[in-house]
């Protein structure tokens, strides 16, 4: 009977160790996931800032519209040359 009790206590102790190890790994996984989310949010913010800057540059560098007389379709002299 003592061997059975000893084996049962040993198994209970091993189960406790395993549960603690699993808990530690789950906590590490959660921390890693939080770090990943934070990193993704920073990257999304940087991407948004780049998009705003690009749009600003494009808006500020739009070509002026040519008057009708300077459109390529009216450049007959260039076509014939």
pLDDT at 81 over 90: no
Which tens digit of pLDDT belongs to each residue from 30-65? 999 999 999 999 999 999 999 999 999 988 887 766
| Predicted model pTM | 0.58
Better-scored residue on pLDDT, 1 or 74 = 1
Domain membership flag for residue 60: no
Domain membership flag for residue 57: no
pLDDT at 78 over 60: no
Parent domain of 39: 25-50
Q: How far is CA 79 from its chain centroid? A: 52
Domain membership flag for residue 41: yes
Domain membership flag for residue 6: no
d(C-alpha 78, C-alpha 72), whole Å = 9
Number of domains in the chain: 1
Compute the mean pLDDT over every residue in the chain, rounded to the nearest whole number: 87
Domain membership flag for residue 38: yes
Q: What are phi and psi of 75, to 5 degrees?
A: -90, 60
């Amino acid at each position: 009977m003592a061997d059975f009790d000893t084996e049962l206590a040993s198994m209970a102790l091993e189960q406790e160790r395993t549960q603690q190890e699993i808990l530690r790994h789950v906590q590490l996984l959660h921390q890693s996931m939080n770090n990943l989310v934070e990193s993704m949010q920073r990257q999304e913010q940087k991407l948004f800032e780049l998009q705003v800057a690009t749009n600003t540059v494009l808006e500020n560098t739009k070509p002026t519209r040519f008057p009708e007389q300077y459109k390529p379709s009216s450049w007959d002299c260039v076509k014939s040359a």
